[in-house]
Amino acid sequence: MSDGSVTSKQDTLLDVAGRPAIEFPEPPELSSHGPARIIAMVNQKGGVGKTTSTINLGASLAELGRRVLLVDFDPQGALSAGMGVNPYEVDLTVYNLLTDRKVDIHDVVVKTETEGVDLLPANIDLSAAEIQLVNEVAREQLLQGALRKVTDEYDVVLIDCQPSLGLLTVNALTAAHGVIIPLTAEFFALRAVALLVETIEKVQDRLNPGLQIDGVLPTMFDARTLHSREVLARLVDAFGDKVFHTVIKRTIKFADATVAAEPITAYAGTHQAAASYRNLAKELISRGGAP
């Protein structure tokens, strides 16, 4: 007969992956800002929620008093548009920063409507950068050099990478301290991760030995389907503790927020989707992935 001192398995709260649920604490306030921790949001597969996660994680970190710089590193300019900035109406973009040494990063940074969040915008011009930079000396380190001038002004820099493993993504990985891999709960997405991990390891070996995988973020999860649950289980088997406890569930609210050009935390602040990204920000800080 139990004396009640031992918690039974049935009493233990589990997360959607079947792991013991963790309630992440409110992080302490920062007394000063910088130097920033730089995080690349990377997956060579498109449509996995990279841009959505960059916007909403950035906005959630800002709500916690962190100064955030979002770097749009995709020629499609989706991050810029998602933050309410028309990438074709700005005078300078990250492309100018990479290709013209005379351009100062402070002249490229744009203030957004989200308090505490600034943006380095991008547009289709960036697609020419890979070709133009091929013969540049230390071409993999151009973004790192540009960001060095503002890291003391921010707590977190999030780089939204294009869906490829080309020179731009290698630049982001060379500049970063950590990598977050957003990944849809689908088998095809799972298969693509092996190539990405291989690229990260090459960058670690040759360009950035301090680079680490901060976590794998399951996105577009649908708990009603066996497929989603099976993929999540396999993800935990493959990556263990690297898989965030926070799982981003599928909802139309993300598309609505994109049309409104606002983070979900502003567009639908009381929705479960907003709560998920706020929890992700707390989890990232709790793991040491952000100050």
SS (H, E, C) the chain: CCCCCCCCHHHCCECCCCCECCCCCCCCCCCCCCCCEEEEECCCCCCCCHHHHHHHHHHHHHHCCCCEEEEEECCCCHHHHHCCCCCCCCCCCHHHHHHCCCCCHHHHCEECCCCCEEEECCCHHHHHHHHHCCCCCCHHHHHHHHHCCCHHHCCEEEEEECCCCCHHHHHHHHHCCEEEEEEECCHHHHHHHHHHHHHHHHHHHHCCCCCEEEEEEEECECCCCHHHHHHHHHHHHHHHHHECCCCCECCCHHHHHHHHCCCHHHHCCCCHHHHHHHHHHHHHHHCCCCC
Against a cut of 0.85, is the pTM above it? yes
β-pairing, 37-41 vs 156-161, is parallel
How many C-beta atoms lie closer than 10 Å to residue 291's C-beta? 19
What does pLDDT average to in each consecutive run of 10 residues of the chain (291 residues)? Answer: 43 75 91 95 89 97 98 96 94 96 96 97 94 88 96 97 93 97 84 87 96 95 85 89 92 87 88 94 96 95
Contact 18, 238 (CB under 8 A): no
Question: What pLDDT was estimated at residue 170?
Answer: 95
Question: What pLDDT was estimated at residue 9?
Answer: 42
Decide: residue 194, CB within 10 A, 0-12 exposed, 13-18 middle, 19+ buried: exposed
Buried b (16+ CB within 10 A) or exposed e, 47-58: ebbbbbbbbbbb
